[in-house]
Chain A
Amino acid sequence: MGATRKPTRCSIAPPDLLGRLAVEGTPEQREAATCALATSAAMRSQRAVMGQLGRRLNIRTGSLAGATLETGERLSVYDNQTQGRQFLPGVLVRGWEAPAVVDTSVNQAYDGSNATYEFYRDQFGRSSLDGVGMELVSTVHYGVGFDNAFWDGSQMVYGDGSGRIFKIGALTSAIDVIAHELTHGVTEFTAGLVYSKQSGALNESFSDVFGSLVKQHSLNQTAAEASWLIGEGILVPELGAALRSMIHPGTAYSGDRQPGNMAEYVNLPDNNDPRNDNGGVHINSGIPNRAFALAAIALGGHAWEKAGRIWYEVLTTRLRPTTQFDAAAHATIDVAGMIFGEAEQVAVHNAWKEVGVLS
């Protein structure tokens, strides 16, 4: 039998003291201070401290016991004002249910986060990323010409793009990119897929899957109608049309190395060399991506109704942090039969056979 966990006590104390205790205190002090930071009224300063705490300790503050930022607000958007990591989340520019502002990036981050929130709620009954109503915090205008958007373990962060890789302002314009990043949060709170080699490629793939589904849902597209492109139109034209193609991996931009079959799996080391992409997580995700697209097209209709439901169930209940492609494939086949029936099982099995993961 495991040790009984003592209930965490929350206390009222100045945020700076709580912040110091959360980093430097005893384990009990850290837990209590973290809880207090997450639940007192000064949410703005807490968010900054929580984010800094997570970065300093290299932990995901969202996964700390009792530390979920349940504010009662669905989402909010902040402006980093190009100041970088130490200024996260930045200045609040649009709170929940506040009217649109002049800044397009702010409104795009707001609308994309809201669409993702509603998609998970309406299609799968999920309340936010953590399942219990976590506020979706976004920061736009991060850094100077920063060519990335990412989930930092507690919030979304969007750069403006440099105009050399991403078009300026494009990173908030693609709803599938927003949903991709937010889905990293869902994965963190559920399967916890380790971001390395095959489990990392699955982590990336689930983000592409639900990123694409949120986009298809927003356009009311069937699986047959969907482009299956991720980040369409956000790269500078010289590079290509999109970041990834789920149905035709390796064709999205010049230099796209994604395989669509296990026979072409790119076996890279996870050795801290940036070129190796944590063991090819953005490269080999092409294989499970294609399996999902093939399954969704075979199952017909809207991809979120059958294929999406199967993949969601697998992500949230069947996977472990180190799950590999073949185990994930078997899980989807199992769940397809459990939720739907034999015909759906066969369709999903055929998709994994087509990409060479199963024989």
Chain B
Amino acid sequence: MKLTIIRAGGIAGIVARTELDQQALPKSAAKDFAGEVSRARLSDQPPPPPDVPRPDTQLYELNLEWTGREVTARYTDDSLPEDVRLLVAWVDSRPERVESIEL
């Protein structure tokens, strides 16, 4: 299982990518990761409503790949569900994450 988080927009307009591969995690953390992903219910997210874009709002895209399947969910900082916010924070706390700036 691999999760890719894209954070973009904001005052900078910079596109930042954070990736976390479950295979890179120790066994207990891998189990926690699966739990966080399950709680976030990314595969169950309905399409986001068409927002009136607000200046400099942070935008999110979460892409989850597992066993040949894939789901992509998009949010604004306004619409980010709390369980997804917690998943993002959990990924940010892991030293195994890989970060880059998309050019």
Contacts and interface: CB of A to CB of B under 8 A. Distances in A.
Q: Answer yes or no: do A and B interact.
A: yes
B68 interface: no
A135 interface: no
A184 interface: yes
Interface stretch (A142-150, A215-223, A288-296, A332-340): A142-150
Interface string A260-301: 000000000000111101100111000000000000000000
Interface in B1-45: 6-16
Contacts of B78: 55, 58, 85
A85 B101 CA distance: 26
B87 to A, nearest CB: 13
Contacts of A180: 11
B54 interface: yes
B37 to A, nearest CB: 19
Contact of A278 (B9, B49, B77, B102): B9
Interface string B47-83: 0111111111111110000000000001001100010
A169 to B, nearest CB: 15
Given A231-B12, A272-B74, A275-B15, A151 B55 contact: yes
A59 B86 CA distance: 26
A150 B55 contact: yes
Contact of A204 (B16, B55, B89, B92): B55
A168 interface: no
Interface in A220-247: 231, 235, 239, 243
B61 A278 contact: no
User: Which size class do A's interface residues fall under?
Assistant: 35 or more
Given A150-B57, A272-B48, A181 B8 contact: no
B85 interface: yes
A203 interface: yes
A148 B10 CA distance: 6
B61 to A, nearest CB: 5
Given A272-B74, A274-B61, A184 B7 contact: no
B16 to A, nearest CB: 6
A274 B9 contact: yes
Most A Cβ at <10 Å: residue of B52, B77, B78: B77
A261 B89 CA distance: 39
Given A85-B78, A147-B10, A239-B101, A274 B55 contact: no
B61 A243 contact: no
Most B Cβ at <10 Å: residue of A59, A150, A152, A281: A150
Contacts, number: 111
A209 to B, nearest CB: 14
Contact of B54 (A84, A152, A272, A282): A152
Contacts of B14: 165, 239, 253, 255
Interface in A160-191: 162, 164-166, 171, 177, 180-181, 184, 187
A184 B56 contact: yes
Contacts of A187: 55
Contacts of B92: 144-145, 162
B61 A273 contact: yes
B60 to A, nearest CB: 7
A195 interface: yes
A166 B11 CA distance: 11
Interface in B83-100: 85, 89, 92, 99
Contact of A150 (B6, B8, B11, B60): B11
B58 A148 contact: yes
A149 B77 CA distance: 12
A138 interface: no
A255 B7 contact: no
Interface of B: 6-16, 48-61, 74, 77-78, 82, 85, 89, 92, 99, 101-103
10 contacts: A144-B92, A150-B10, A150-B11, A165-B101, A231-B11, A239-B14, A255-B101, A273-B61, A274-B61, A277-B13
Interface of A: 55, 58-59, 84-86, 144-153, 162, 164-166, 171, 177, 180-181, 184, 187, 195-196, 200, 203-204, 207, 231, 235, 239, 243, 253-255, 257, 272-275, 277-278, 281-283
